[in-house]
Amino acid sequence: MKAHNPIPKLAALIAAILILLSGTLIAQAAGGTILYLPVVQKQAVTELALPPADAASARLSVPPGFAIRYFATQVGAKPRLMTIGPDGALYVALFNGQAVVRLPDDNHDGLADAKQTILTGLNGPHNVEWFGGWMYVAEADKISRHKDLDSNGIYETHETILPLPTGGHNTRTLHFGPDGKMYVSVGSTCNDCVETDLRRAAILRYNPDGSIPNDNPFKNDTDLNKRPLWAWGLRNSVDFLWTPEGALWADHNGADGMGDNSPPEEIIIPVQGNKWHGWPYCYTATLGANTAPEVLVPGKTLPGSLTCGDAVAARFTDLAHSAPLGMQLGAPAQFPLEYQDDLFVAFHGSWNTSLANARDCKIQRIRIEGGQPTTSVSFVNGWRAPGETCSGPNAFGRPADVAVNGAGEMFISDDVSNAIYRVIYVGP
């Protein structure tokens, strides 16, 4: 599941209390016995390799003290969400490549050793996740799962556990929650409409085998499509995760057709089970950290007694047409302390705003204090060509996801240049 990384604070604490001792430490125990204690040496954090400067480091900007390089190029068509596997390697879903690839770095030189294709013949795979010995894949039309029976890297067993609606926003994302249930996001069929299939514009909840949990709010509904429904009114929540406190946060791509500056992109939505989250009638209008209720979309009329006050509002928003995709909560242990609790979001950037108002495609850092978002700042930028949109002919690429590992590395997928980048902290 996408969740907060608990390693950084523990590692920082351990590093802070290590004391460098030299020579032999001599102590006198009760009764006069002399104890010759072994020398305790400070355990230095393994220095991460930094490959030579390349086109990525020349083009993309990172804060002082950080370095960015290509980790892998030509990984396949449209790499989207990434996962660190049980073996510590990076796994990437190739949405247009119809495959999942493994990118190991066994010699720890900061570059992928090879591109190993472990699954093929998939239909628009968007992300993978392991649970109960299975590798689950969210495909455009289904959830499948696969098992490597003898741990040789070849997946011999394949199952389709549930179908999903097709068309419209066609990426699907799955994560397992702290409750052991499988959550699946499915985008809307259109920009602005009322869905007839209640599995659309929603986050669905299943047991790991694809059955409906007994505590789902609509477990016994006569509409079979309503039974997995957990949260709705989410036009296109491409990614979601859980906080250390167990809260479910999702991002959300807002509707088009309301101009360059509206509606704001909803970067953090505190998703509530059995609740409506606004779309297509209401939206969060305040930029940045938000505590205000949602407001009515101009020209819309709410059905029945529904009000915008009934909608779960976003807690943090950003500029319209930023197109938030993959999310990562928590930084590697080697990053400075002030980064540890923050949220990193891949902004895919604009394609249909005016040139005077073009949105950057970048990795945005949302500062988290006391478990809540406060402000945001660019972390990695430079993909968009000046004066063009992110889909312009001279764009360097478009980021799609962020993932971190326990070794101190942050990875960024780029679904236009078909590359993976690696960011590390190299010091002040």
Each residue of 143-179: pLDDT tens digit? 999 999 988 888 999 999 999 999 999 999 999 999 9
Query: CA-CA distance, 142 to 9, in Å (whole number)?
Result: 38
Q: Which residues pair with 82 in a beta bridge?
A: 92
In a domain, 347, yes or no: yes
- In the numeric block, the tokens 């780029």 are attached to 414
What's the token pair of residue 1?
Answer: 């599941």
In a domain, 325, yes or no: yes
Q: How many folded domains does the chain comprise?
A: 1
In a domain, 38, yes or no: yes
In a domain, 1, yes or no: no
CATH number assigned to the domain comprising residue 225:
2.120.10.30
Q: From residue 116, how far is each of 9, 23, 90, 135 by CA, in Å?
A: 33, 48, 11, 16
In a domain, 2, yes or no: no
- Predicted local confidence at residue 55, as pLDDT: 98
**Cα-based angle 332, 143, 134 (whole degrees, multiple of 5):** 60
Start-to-end C-alpha separation, the chain: 32
In a domain, 230, yes or no: yes
In a domain, 132, yes or no: yes
Domain assignment of residue 187, given as a range: 7-425
Q: Are 99 and 125 in contact (CB under 8 A)?
A: yes
- Predicted local confidence at residue 351, as pLDDT: 77
- Predicted local confidence at residue 46, as pLDDT: 61
The pairs formed by 288-296 with CB atoms below 8 angstroms and a separation of 24 or more are: 288/316, 288/317, 288/318, 288/375, 288/376, 289/315, 289/316, 289/372, 289/373, 289/374, 289/375, 290/314, 290/315, 290/316, 290/317, 291/315
Identify the H or E element spanning 294.
Answer: none
- Predicted local confidence at residue 6, as pLDDT: 52
Query: Residue 288: which region, alpha, beta or left (left: phi > 0; alpha: psi -120 to 50)?
Result: left
Each residue of 234-289: pLDDT tens digit? 999 999 999 999 999 999 987 777 777 889 999 999 999 999 999 999 999 999 99
Nearest to 188 by CA among 225, 228, 236, 255: 236
- Given a cut of 50, the residues of the chain with pLDDT beneath it are 7-45
Its pTM surpasses 0.75:
yes
